[in-house]
Amino acid sequence: MNIVILSRNAGLYSTRSLVNAAYRRNHDVRVIDHMRCDLVIDKNDHCVYYQGEKLVGIDAIIPRIGTTATSHGSAVIRHFVNMGVYSTLQSSALLLARDKLSCLQALTAAGMDVPRSIISKDYYAMSEMIERVGELPIVIKMIKGTHGLGVILSESKKNAESILEAFHKSKEKVMIQEFIHEAKGADVRAFVVEDKVVGAMKRQARPGEFRSNLHRGASSTIINLTEEEKFVARKAARVMGLEIAGVDMLQTSKGPLVLEVNASPGLEGIETTTKVDIAGKIIDMVQRNVS
Ligand SMILES: Nc1ncnc2c1ncn2[C@@H]1O[C@H](COP(=O)(O)OP(=O)(O)O)[C@@H](O)[C@H]1O
Ligand SMILES: [Mg+2]
């Protein structure tokens, strides 16, 4: 197969891991920067140019689109799919997953449990909304944040109001969310490939920190998920329309709450923690779908 990995940086762990897994299976593989892809929209000559070269003969793309490239990245994916190229990620699913609000709406519409969340465009209603979301402390979250940046724990109503005021002033979209104490600064990442959980880890935030992102210095350990957790992770990926997904859940006595679903989940944390060849599972999935 002729596989293209859409990635801005060939040196990133996830990109390298996918390249190696493809090589090991004797595929031709190339890393292409989606931000340097020019799209020709013409029904007789629908094509992609990469740094002046017309791309032909590609069987599959594996998009690894960072949060700063969502818009053009999704257009590039759509273009390849329109050209008949198999993609491990659909542009509509990427766009849905990148918006925390739309993601939670889709999950709850499908009957899934998430932390109670509120969004309001009316700044003056904020004070009341803070009371409505749950007991203090509460979580304030940027809709388009990532790696735990823009996720804030606010201990008092006054403090929450000041933070919301600042976000409102800078026109940053945010939501407020009930704080799940029971999670104890940990979350569970389930990695789903084609409706199967292929690996899972528990991430524990550093002491004094509630965000369990590895980018925020959290530690990770391999974990055996309950049947319910596996079911919830697979369902969340399905609801979002993702063949490959990193589903983050908070563990509570009432069962898992889905926090978010990542469309371009990193491979480094999950592969090094679980020792599972996740990249290999992704290439195998591509192989099944192309042949
Ligand atoms: N409502 C919440 N209750 C408890 N912990 C939370 C809550 N929301 C987020 N967290 C913690 O903060 C981390 C980052 O939040 P998340 O919504 O996943 O944003 P990001 O996209 O930046 O990773 C989570 O992994 C979790 O550990
Ligand atoms: Mg997260």
Residue ID of nearest Cα to ligand 1 atom 15: 148
Classified by CATH at the fold level, domain 117-179 comes out as Dna Ligase; domain 1 (3.30.1490)
- pLDDT at residue 19, rounded to an integer: 98
Q: Write phi, then psi, for 93 (nearest 5 degrees).
A: -70, -35
Please indicate whether residue 63 or residue 143 has the higher confidence score (pLDDT): 63
Cα R_g (the chain), whole angstroms: 20
Q: Where are the domains of the chain?
A: 2-89, 99-113+182-262, 117-179
Mean pLDDT value of segment 273-285: 98
Query: 157-169 vs 126-133: helix axis angle to the nearest 10?
Result: 130
Report residues whose beta carbon is within 6 angstroms of any ligand 1 atom.
115, 139, 141, 145-149, 151, 177, 179-180, 183, 187, 210-213, 248, 250, 259-260
d(Cα 74, Cα 63) in Å, to the nearest integer? 9
Q: Which architecture does CATH list for 99-113+182-262?
A: 2-Layer Sandwich (3.30)
- pLDDT at residue 126, rounded to an integer: 84
Torsion sign over Cα 127, 128, 133, 136:
positive
Classified by CATH at the fold level, domain 2-89 comes out as Rossmann fold (3.40.50)
Q: Per-residue pLDDT for 123 more than 80?
A: no
Mean pLDDT value of segment 102-115: 97
Q: From the CA of 135, how far away is ligand 1's center (Å)?
A: 17
pLDDT tens per residue, range 179-206: 999 999 999 999 999 999 999 999 999 9
Nearest listed ligand to the Cα of residue 246: 2
